[in-house]
């Protein structure tokens, strides 16, 4: 009798590649990009510098950083065709569907979408990373019957994104927060969307197709959308004083509390810890609606840690605190997923480029459980 092989559902516990890009330590609650802790980078670095670090494998010199900054700014603008595509489907597709379509269409502007030259693919990656926030801002504005705002080359990557959303240059505090969000969402090892990009690129599909696969993966609620779901829960709670009763009832009914627990982290998500510090500061300058959400999130965090933290290993993840902070910075809920994709495009592109150095087509096996050697019955004899 044939022995049934062990099946690792969801590929849990299966290693798919070697990588020097990032390390996620779920036991100790640590995250590293190229050996640098996420705490250090969030405090001291910029998205542009992290972009150089991930793409080139080391921190840049001042000249190298200036050169990358110029390239990113040069590539920010999107074509009239892309704007027309977004406008044409703005009322018919969700923001994530629009982003996926726009990323796929970006290959049209590249005379050589696929390349086996790493330097050329790094340039393509820079083009994608630069355009994603511009596309995301255009999606939000066109869906809300507003004209897109052209990028401002005097502003940094994250600061410019906020400007393209509202038409107003953000203050230093919100600009820094947005930069931190781009940094902490830039990369997270081989999660679902990153794995999807690797499967696509392993066929030698071009980098645009592979990134499109990553965007598509975010459509599912098990990978994308948790921060928006957490905001919905906070709005259902309504008032900070209702938080404890809501949490108690949810736990008694064994309902999931959105924004808590993680597939890898069995302790406090290091990215959530960074955001909590911003949450405390944002409360003082937030409007009443957002201030209530912030207070609800802080109370819920305390209650959940008391009840499930040490005992069950369920801690806040990055999505729980992201929503109230996005709203404080002027980023509306329908933009959450697409700005995450804009940030993660850096990680996707870096993994694609790395994987192509030792490419192997993904071709997993499956165990067949159906019947064999069935008799074919002509259609006129089938009942």
Tokens of 202: 């392993």
Same-domain check for residues 183 and 47: yes
Domain count, the chain: 2
Q: Is 234 part of any domain?
A: yes
* 212 and 256 share one domain: no
Q: What CATH number corresponds to the domain at position 268?
A: 1.10.230.10
Let me know whether 107 and 202 are in one domain.
yes
Q: Please report, to the nearest 10 degrees, the dihedral formed by the alpha carbons of residues 25, 27, 30, 34 taken in order.
A: -10
Instruction: Give the 3-state secondary structure of residue 25.
Output: strand
Query: From the DSSP assignment, how many helices (H) and strands (E) are in the chain?
Result: 17, 3
Residues annotated as catalytic are 262, 319
User: Per-residue pLDDT tens for 48-68?
Assistant: 999 999 999 999 999 999 999
Domain annotation covers residue 363: no
Q: Residues in the chain with pLDDT < 50?
A: none
204 and 291 within one domain = no
- Same domain for 126 and 250? no
**pTM score, two decimals?**
0.95
* Whole-angstrom distance, CA of residue 174 vs CA of residue 168: 12
Give the model's pLDDT for residue 2.
Answer: 67
**Rg (alpha carbons) of the chain, rounded to whole number:** 22
Read off φ and ψ for residue 318, nearest 5 degrees. Answer: -60, -30
Phi and psi at residue 37, in whole multiples of 5°?
-70, 150
Cα gap 64→212, rounded to integer Å = 29
Q: Does residue 14 sit within a domain?
A: no
205 and 179 in a single domain? The answer is yes
Same domain (yes/no): 188, 318 = no
> Domain span at residue 324?
226-329
- Tell me: do 37 and 168 sit in the same domain: yes
Whether residue 304 sits in one domain with residue 262? yes
| 276 and 207 assigned to the same domain | no
Residues 231 and 199 in one domain: no
Closest to 353 in 3D by CA, of 218, 133, 194, 223: 194
pLDDT recorded at residue 221: 81
Residue 7's pLDDT is 93
């Amino acid at each position: 009798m044939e022995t049934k092989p062990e099946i690792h559902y969801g590929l849990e516990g299966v290693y798919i590649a070697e990588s020097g890009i990032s390390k996620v330590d779920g036991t100790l609650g640590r995250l590293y990009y190229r050996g640098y802790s996420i705490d250090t980078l969030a405090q001291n670095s910029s998205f542009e510098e992290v972009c150089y670090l991930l793409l080139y494998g080391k921190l840049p010199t001042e000249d190298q950083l200036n050169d990358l900054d110029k390239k990113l700014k040069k590539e920010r603008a999107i074509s009239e065709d892309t704007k027309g595509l977004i406008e044409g489907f703005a009322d018919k597709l969700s923001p994530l569907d629009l982003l996926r379509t726009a990323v796929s269409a970006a290959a049209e502007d590249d005379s050589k979408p696929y390349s086996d030259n790493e330097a050329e693919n790094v340039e393509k990656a820079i083009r994608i990373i630069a355009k994603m926030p511009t596309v995301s801002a255009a999606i939000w504005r066109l869906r809300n019957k507003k004209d897109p705002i052209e990028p401002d080359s005097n502003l940094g990557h994250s600061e410019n994104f906020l400007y393209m959303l509202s038409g107003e240059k953000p203050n230093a505090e919100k600009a820094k927060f947005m930069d931190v969000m781009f940094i902490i969402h830039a990369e997270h090892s081989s999660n679902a969307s990153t794995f999807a990009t690797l499967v696509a690129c392993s066929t030698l599909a071009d980098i645009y197709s592979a990134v499109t696969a990553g965007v598509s993966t975010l459509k599912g609620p098990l990978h994308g959308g948790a921060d928006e779901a957490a905001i919905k829960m906070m709005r259902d709670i309504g008032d900070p004083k209702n938080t404890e009763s809501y949490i108690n009832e949810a736990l008694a009914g064994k309902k999931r509390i959105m924004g808590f627990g993680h597939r890898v982290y069995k302790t406090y998500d290091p990215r959530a810890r960074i955001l909590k510090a911003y949450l405390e500061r944002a409360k003082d300058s937030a409007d009443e609606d957002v201030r209530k959400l912030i207070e609800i999130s802080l109370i819920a965090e305390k209650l959940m840690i008391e009840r499930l933290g040490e005992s069950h290993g369920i801690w806040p993840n990055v999505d729980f605190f992201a929503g109230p902070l996005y709203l404080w910075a002027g980023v509306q809920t329908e933009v959450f997923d697409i700005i995450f994709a804009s940030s993660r495009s850096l990680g996707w592109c870096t993994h694609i480029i790395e994987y192509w150095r030792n490419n192997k087509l993904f071709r997993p096996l499956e165990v067949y459980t159906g019947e064999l050697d069935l008799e074919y019955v002509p259609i006129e004899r089938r009942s």
